[in-house]
Amino acid sequence: MLPAEAKEKLVRRMGPRGYLDRPEDLKLYEYDGSVDKALPDLVVFPRSTEDVVAIVRIAAEYGVPVTGRGAGTGLSGGSIPRLGGVVVGFSRMNRILEIDLENERAVVEPGVVNLDLTLAVQDRSYFYAPDPSSQKACTIGGNVAENAGGPHTLAYGVTTNHVLGLEAVLPDGSVIWTGGKEPDLPGYDLTGLLTGSEGTMALITKAVVRLMRQPEMVKTCLAIYESPEDAGRTVTEITARNITPVALEMLDGVMLRMVEEATHAGYPMDAGAVLLIELEGLREAVEEQVEQIREACAACRAREFRVARTAGERDLLWKGRKNAFGAIGRVSPTFYVQDGVVPRTKIAPTLRFIGEVSSKYGLTISNIFHAGDGNMHPIILFDARKPGDLDKARRAGEEILEYCIQAGGSITGEHGVGMEKNEMMSRLFSEETLDAIRALKDVFDPGNLFNPGKVLPTGKGCLEIRQPALTAAGPVY
């Protein structure tokens, strides 16, 4: 519950157009792209770092939880206010503050849409590499919070590899800078620590990011298979040939049919799976690698291998991949996206296991994922209006993640832990490791006011969901 006095101070600070408190408006902020929900007490829209500082100080004074939010496209409940309180929406802090192409850097506010940064520099042959499937909507601040990835992370890495510095507001309202334009600054890597911390330690108000030059040549290929297992084996074969594509994506038959019906991207409706493979670099090297990949696909029983002949054909193939989640909505009223990671050599058996889980629970599970780094995205289709369907989808997802752990992988590759997978952290890490992570969280946020109930398990010995008790003298922790 948000104390009336705290709300009054926040409303006065933000002004009449700087907040939302009507029930019908708050319901728009109770969910993200996951299956969980929790209602905030107030949503505020800062326009500056000074606004964020004021919001945080008022929240700290009254012991009110604070949850940062970008575009709400996250898939693990990271921006859901689990204990209510204040949601800080960064949509109005959306300026590109500086573009420094001589040093290949940009400084942006957290509400800048991912794709807008590339659009701002592409006419000068630059781009911003991290490209989540939601890049037309997701924001840099949200990407930093979740350490987002995307199809091209196989060669370019995830968000943390492209964030050089951060301005951040801590839970007591103080402002810090970590890193900067300069490479390899001395001291602890606080930029790396805050990137991927899911808003549990600080609220990001500015980011210094790396820009990259566009390559001389890009080739996009589509390999078509009768079975997902053959496609999975191809990933290992390409790796064995010492080739690293910039993207290596897989869609199984269930998924590619949904995508093709929605986007008409040119995917074969009768295939068991396809691999979308992209190569970049110097012309001669790319042309040679295309032929090597053609051979690798043939060795793993690809029935057809296509190379996009024009930029239009390439864009159409990527349109199918990037709009996959929207395509699912035409088929199923609700779906549950998972985010496990396995070694590349375990992709084929993992796909078989996912098929077994699908049969066990009687739910359709489609697969679309970053095959190059083993980041699996099984998508469980269910009907939330049907009693028991959501519970079945959750159990199916948990079994798949458990298998990923046993296969030597992880419970997340890019979506974050949030409130979806935090109870599984104890299956991945020892109690001693979790205690060390909790101690680090407590250094930044001893009152557990920033995004409480996320990342770490909520049971005894880990991170209990707790709020400070309120007294006349203020909060007691």
In terms of C-beta density within 10 A (0-12 exposed, 13-18 middle, 19 or more buried), how is residue 235 classed?
A: buried
CA–CA dist 247, 281 (Å, integer): 13
Domain architecture of the chain: domains with CATH: 96-213 (3.30.465.10), 217-326 (3.30.70.2190), 332-422 (3.30.70.2740)
The pTM of the full predicted model, rounded to 2 decimals, is 0.94
3-state secondary structure of 104: coil
- What is the pLDDT at residue 476? 44
CA–CA dist 227, 235 (Å, integer): 14
Can you point out the beta strands (E) in 5-71?
Answer: 19-20, 42-44, 66-69
- What is the pLDDT at residue 477? 37
- What is the pLDDT at residue 323? 87
CA–CA dist 229, 114 (Å, integer): 34
- What is the pLDDT at residue 395? 97
* Rounded mean pLDDT for each run of 10 residues along the chain, 477 residues in total: 96 98 98 96 98 98 98 97 98 98 97 98 97 96 97 95 98 97 91 98 98 97 96 94 95 95 93 97 96 97 97 93 88 93 94 97 96 95 95 97 97 96 96 96 97 88 44 40
What tens digit of pLDDT does each residue of 173-190 get? 999 999 999 988 899 999
